[in-house]
Structure 1
Amino acid sequence: MTPREPRHEPQVLLLVPTGEGAGLTSACLGLIQALDTIGLKAGFLKPLRQDELNGPGPDRSCALVSSTLGLHPPAPIPQAEMERLLREDRLDVLMEQVVELQDRALSTAGDGTPELLVMEGLVPTRHASYATQVNAQLAHALNARIILVGSGDLAEPRALAEQLDMHARAFGGIGSARTLGCILMRLHNLPGGGDDSGLAAGTAVPTLDEPLLAELRRHSPALATDRFHVIGMVPYAPALSAPRVLDVARALGATVLNEGEPERRVLSTSLCARSASNALHIFKPGSLVVASGDRDDVVLASALATMNGVPLAGVLLTNGFLPGENMIEMCRPALKTGLPVISVETDSFTTAQNLGQMGNDIPMDDLERAERVANFVAAHIDLQWLKDHLSRGYTRRLSPSAFRHQLVKLAQQADRRIILPEGAEPRTVEAAAICQRRGLARCVLLGKREEIEEVARQRGIALPEGLEIIDPDRIRERYVAPMVERRTGKVNALTAEAQLHDNVVLGTMMLQLDEVDGLVSGAVHTTANTVRPAFQLIKTAPGYRQVSSIFFMLLPEQVVVYGDCAVNPDPDAEALAEIAIQSARSAQAFGIEPRVAMISYSTGESGSGADVEKVRQATRLAREQAPDLLIDGPLQYDAAAIESVGRQKAPDSPVAGRATVFVFPDLNTGNTTYKAVQRSARVVSVGPMLQGLNKPVNDLSRGALVDDIVYTIALTAIQAAQRD
């Protein structure tokens, strides 16, 4: 198989809020803005919508990112669709949809692929009790690093430290490689708050409050480690939370009596319950004066203050009372300066309560505020540290969701014709129907039409239009002569005709003659029944002397490759080296960065004996034959798979603790291990996929599920396209 270049996905930074009101969207805006100032291009993705926070209409976060930063992320998956899949226990399907959104976000990010993708996680609310679970799955599906977004009062450092500790546990804890750090937003009692004037992206980062950090570390020592960093400490700036009079009118459903300048900012709200002469202190810049509509003295005082040059935010009249025409005329000069006046039906006390319940979210049409927030947050982020640490100590992994999405996408692009010799086998019929409908392959079922249609009826399967059914009795005769020619001296016409009664042999001949592009069998046949005709008729590809197999093991956080678990009982060192190289190339062809571990019962030089020596020699041969690959061995399984064990047992190995391709010393070890992992850990395994043949033939386990067959058909179609 021709390897394809590994897909260099941008690093995903998943911003996870510790609660409502943490300033999640503001943190995303600021982080993207700040990354841009140090030359790192970032895209944005909000994969999942939350209606209770967003309200009706377009998604607020996506709209703000688009208007402020010029990015055009795709619309998030609707909350109803997300919750339906969660109820149906189809989290894997939801994550595949997220991976598809990621592809779309990258394709619409402008010129070139972004180096980073900033992603907004779910906000934990009373309704969204599933937020933590889904955020953890998002991190796994997109191989994302976590930045926690929190807020609080610096007078309570213990509560802040415990909040970070608690939310980090879903991602392996504060000390894990996945958890990168935190951005603390809207911090009260932090120097630098209260004024955003002069702060813009690119401004020197203010010194982090060291006494506060020391206090946080005292309550959470993990905060002091190099694995977790306080990336930003953003002070609370009231001016950045100031709504416009326009926003107040929308929130309260107010009637606009004088539009004036609706963009004026409400820096404070003052309820005037006393006479105007006793409340002169409320008539100050940015103040929204709230009073009953029949309080002519307050209305006049507001007009006088305006005419004296005090830029009030506006006047809000309550109780449904409106000033008389004479009063309006008297205030006309003030109204002409742009003073907004709005009115509500509720009484003053209720109106004040409603004002207090207004959220701090940035309206999607408030471009000015969004830009100021982005610049202010960016100016309080330690960007140099972030730039220096984005890749350190973190291994890129292909997640199961990304792998499945990639299989579907590549198979659809391949558009290959795949023969299924076990045409009337129920699981195979269902898998063929699924593949045909989803465009994963043009499937051909070998079998009697009436038998296949009866199977479909019994299982409630609708056979899609375009699904081919070929009766083997009608075509068998024309393959006799080509088979005799292919196996000259080994079969004659009589024996060839007899062998072609086996549909696997017949399908293999169709493949050999390029009438189909690949073959999948094994749901009811043994591996030998599937593989033997391929050895005899297809034969090995140039440069290989044997056929081997791999399984793609969909572990919870990543996809790894196991080989050989199905074909070669006891390969010698030369054969084992070839299996390692074949397996690495296959992994690379499917987007997995190959780091090959040659598995044994000992690591390095710790063991001796013929079995260990075989693995040691195979490692040396594989390195000589493929110096471009990372290959190491012998390694015990735990030393190959677990980072901490790898550092202890093989500290200088480029593979230990990071392996993605596991090559077992013999079939007994490989088959036992794959089945133990598959069944005990409930891991989906895709395969076995045969490698080293001239054309793609793949075997199924006789216990294969419908999904296993679907993905194997997709694999086969991709192999065929890559061979071409």
Structure 2
Amino acid sequence: MAQSIYITSAEGHTGKSTIALGVLDALMRVSPRVGVFRPIVRPGEERDRVLELLLAHDGVQLDYVDGVGVTYDDVRDDPDRALATIVARFKAVEARCDAVVVVGSDYTDVASPAEFSYNARIAANLGAPVMLVISGRDQQRRAEQLGTTTARTPGEVGQIAALAVAELAVEQASLFAVVVNRADPAQLDATIEAVRAVHSPHTAVWALPEDRSLVAPSMRSILRAIDGRLVKGAPELLDREAFDVVIAGMSMVNVLPRLTADAVVVIAADRTDVLLATLLASASGTFPQIAGIVLNGPFELPESVQTLLDGFTLSIPIVATDLGTYDTAASIMNTRGRLTAESVQRYEKALSLFQTHVDLTELGIELGLAESTVVTPLMFEYGLIERARSDRQHIVLPEGDDDRILRAASILLARDVAELTILGDEQSIRARASALGLNIDAAHVLSPTDPALVERFAEEYARLRAHKGITLQQAADTVTDVSYFGTMMVHTGLADGMVSGAAHTTAHTIRPSFEIIKTKPGVDVVSSVFLMALADRVLVYGDCAVIPDPTSIQLADIAISSAATAQQFGIDPRVAMLSYSTGASGTGADVDKVREATALVRERMPELPVEGPIQYDAAADAAVAKAKLPDSAVAGRATVFVFPDLNTGNNTYKAVQRSAGAVAIGPVLQGLNKPINDLSRGALVDDIVNTVAITAIQAQGDRS
């Protein structure tokens, strides 16, 4: 039977979706089959937002209909029959999973006391322990700022917990944890103690502080709420949150001092003077950066103003609506931020908040989860992030003018994966990040033309390349290139590793490392591996990216470096030296090269399990291995596959990636004295995040 958890609350708007997402994400780290279930959803054609959010998480393999119990109409018509249907549908999901996250109803259709009682009854009948979510904000006591409510005191939170715990006991539901969401950041410890005081001290209690970015509406949500249309600006910036509203119903000179950071500014569409002044203020850099502009009223912009706007390089969203000022303001004020899979920044913030304030190890212990022997791609990627976080390293990202780098940096900083330095113009980079709604405040931003560092790096580079006749002036010109500048940071100890290549060629990225970082003692070549995350295990493929036609000596180097890389990432190295023949069955120059390389590996690393020449099927398939090499310690169980040349390696990793659905993480460069890693120019944000984590882990190994 699957281990399940029922997430519910005694009132609406507690942020259960954030907690559910965090729990689901945590379970995915240790279990390959995690399901999600929503006992009650709204009737009608509209799909449940929370269920959609959870189903979109990588690794959840259920369809929407599988995760639905009944509708509110079904519960009103016959609660007992609805409960029986919920149990039956849940059991169908449970049978397919190792763990199930169940998210209770949303207080949209039933009086709160009755609804909470019914959720408790469902949990008891599903046999799922309850994680109770309590809001640290009072939804009834509205503050006067956009999207905010007043904070509850620790005592008030404790009282609500006491009432909810008593109701759970009445329905025979088992409580295993309480999470106070949106708690007063200054009262976290006091809030936890107040909740612990009302029930068993052994029950886990966590508190997550208020994060306004999770409840503030995005410009996209505002656009929908006012039935608006985007008239100018970048569509991707509609995902930026608005934390305040400025009603610009006054003259230009009075509006400008009232602009606040991340505000949405509401301007009557016929006040073009105020519109232009607000745009100029936003572009000037001397006024706060606003989230967007709403033009209200049934007025078209004059053609001359349209022409003027066309001449602006506008990124800030300008939305138009036919509503009047009052209705526009009221609609904006009543718009809440929603956590969806499409809102990447909000999604990452929610995960980061949960991971920071909930002890994931304790959560797993409380749920009684055992570590799985299977390693899925998602579990492996989680492992990379956790290992990088355990001993934070300093990684430099030279391509600060690429939005993907900024998005990845925001994720990495939110998850506390690494200390980051981004190269580029600080004002431009921070302004772009702000426009994208990204938080990179914790990153260092450094200009590659910084005079003091250029002088220092030039002197060192000229010394290193003196044998090539490089002068100090030539060195000064060279080190202002972002790849050279970043590499010099690593070389001089200002950073522990570098990740680049999203906007540069492989040669541009790694050439400086050949000149400056150089190879480790005993290693003659720089090579690469891909970490191939299959459905249930992770393999290492090398070399698939760097050396076109390695000699036997280079092949031996690749094998030894690949085995070391495998070990560094928790993979027990058993090395297969691949060829088109197995054992002594074949002859020829290509086979002989592999045979010689295998002998060199055994001579240099006698304790390393290695087999070669060996065909791929004999290396990977136990049945074939039994027939061809029955006494081999590697055949049929290989974890490190060393290809005879780049042509074979590159094509094989891509074939396995596409045909077997494997996640190919890399290329991971190996053999360098310090970690430098290259990105594909088509790299996704997730690829960059993984590569930074890998580089950090390599740096940890170099330090130790």
Q: Which has the higher contact order (CA 8 A, sep 6+)?
A: 1
TM-score by length of 2: 0.50
Higher Rg of the two aligned structures: 1
